[in-house]
């Protein structure tokens, strides 16, 4: 019996709006950076892959500073701080259409509903600004735990917060390498979702 359902955040509940590259470009205009959203999106994806090689991180502010310096190495002073703040605002994100109805349906069943996310200190206030915090009983965030998915520590912390055994918990996410492999190794049930699909995560509520 599933007593707790946990969700990844980025790519599962919310996504950058209209894109990471678009936000980089919008902020960049204020600092004399005239590059297209497509150019910056490509640079970001390359920098992300490079930054994620080797040991896992907890993606704190200085980690993001180093990544942004890879994306825009010639950025003027102040660009990073403005960009970091921009991604803390709800305007830079969009909640997937079926998220609120799914979370509401799950809460109505009396199950523990939580988050397990690789994120930094901006996540708690961001979820509050997006009016999503009210749906969750617990938030397990990598910067607070000191470990990122797929590490076992972050899943154990979430299970402890919910007071459930691994087999009683379902984790929902969009990454096979982080969400699926990590949750399965922790003994949890898993649902891989692709939010470009028509059903989104709505079907998660129906299956539990």
Query: 41 lies in which domain range?
Result: 16-92
Select from 154, 150, 152 the least CA-distant residue to 142.
154
Task: Label the pairing between strands 93-95 and 14-16.
Answer: antiparallel
Q: Are residues 103 and 157 in the same domain?
A: yes
Q: Are residues 202 and 185 in the same domain?
A: yes
**CATH number of the domain that 10 lies in?**
3.40.50.1000
Q: Which long-range contacts (CB under 8 A, 24 or more apart) does 65-74 make?
A: 70/43, 70/46, 71/24, 71/40, 71/43, 71/44, 71/47, 72/24, 72/28, 72/33, 72/35, 72/40, 72/43, 74/33
Cα 7 to Cα 187: distance, rounded to the nearest angstrom: 16
Please identify, among 92, 119, 152, the residue that sits at the C-terminal boundary of a domain.
92
Q: Are residues 98 and 81 in the same domain?
A: no
Please identify, among 92, 111, 126, the residue that sits at the C-terminal boundary of a domain.
92
**CATH number of the domain that 20 lies in?**
1.10.150
Cα 105 to Cα 107: distance, rounded to the nearest angstrom: 6
Q: Are residues 53 and 66 in the same domain?
A: yes
pLDDT score of 201: 83
Q: Are residues 52 and 138 in the same domain?
A: no
Q: Are residues 116 and 76 in the same domain?
A: no
Q: Are residues 80 and 114 in the same domain?
A: no
Question: pLDDT tens digit string along 170-196?
Answer: 999 999 999 999 999 999 999 999 876
3-state percent helix, strand, coil for the chain, nearest multiple of 5: 50, 15, 35
Q: Are residues 10 and 58 in the same domain?
A: no
Domain count, the chain: 2
Q: Are residues 110 and 129 in the same domain?
A: yes
Identify the segments of the chain with pLDDT beneath 50: none
Cβ atoms of 202 and 101 closer than 8 Å: yes
Q: Are residues 169 and 134 in the same domain?
A: yes
Identify the residue whose tokens are 């007593």. Answer: 3
Question: pLDDT tens digit string along 50-78?
Answer: 888 766 567 789 999 999 999 999 998 89
Q: Are residues 8 and 20 in the same domain?
A: no
Please identify, among 92, 122, 155, the residue that sits at the C-terminal boundary of a domain.
92
Q: Are residues 98 and 88 in the same domain?
A: no
Cβ atoms of 121 and 143 closer than 8 Å: yes
Query: Which helix (H) or strand (E) segment is 171 a member of?
Result: strand 169-173
């Amino acid at each position: 019996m599933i007593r707790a359902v946990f969700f990844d955040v980025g790519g599962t509940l919310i996504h950058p709006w209209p894109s990471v590259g678009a936000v980089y470009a919008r902020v960049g205009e204020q600092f004399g950076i005239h590059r297209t959203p497509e150019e910056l999106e490509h640079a970001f994806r390359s920098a992300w892959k490079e930054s994620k090689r080797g040991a896992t991180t907890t993606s704190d502010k200085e980690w993001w500073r180093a990544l942004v310096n890879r994306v825009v190495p010639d950025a003027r002073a102040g660009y990073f701080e403005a960009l970091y703040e921009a991604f803390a605002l709800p305007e830079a994100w969009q909640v997937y259409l079926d998220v609120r109805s799914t979370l509401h349906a799950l809460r109505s069943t009396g199950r523990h509903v939580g988050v397990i996310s690789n994120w930094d200190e901006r996540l708690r206030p961001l979820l509050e600004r997006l009016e999503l915090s009210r749906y969750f009983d617990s938030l397990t965030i990598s910067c607070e735990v000191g470990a990122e998915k797929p590490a076992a520590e972050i899943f154990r912390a979430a299970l402890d917060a919910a007071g459930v055994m691994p087999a009683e918990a379902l984790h929902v996410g969009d990454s096979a390498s982080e969400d699926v492999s990590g949750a399965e190794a922790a003994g949890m049930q898993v649902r891989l979702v692709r939010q470009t699909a028509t059903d989104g995560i709505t079907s998660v509520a129906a299956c539990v």
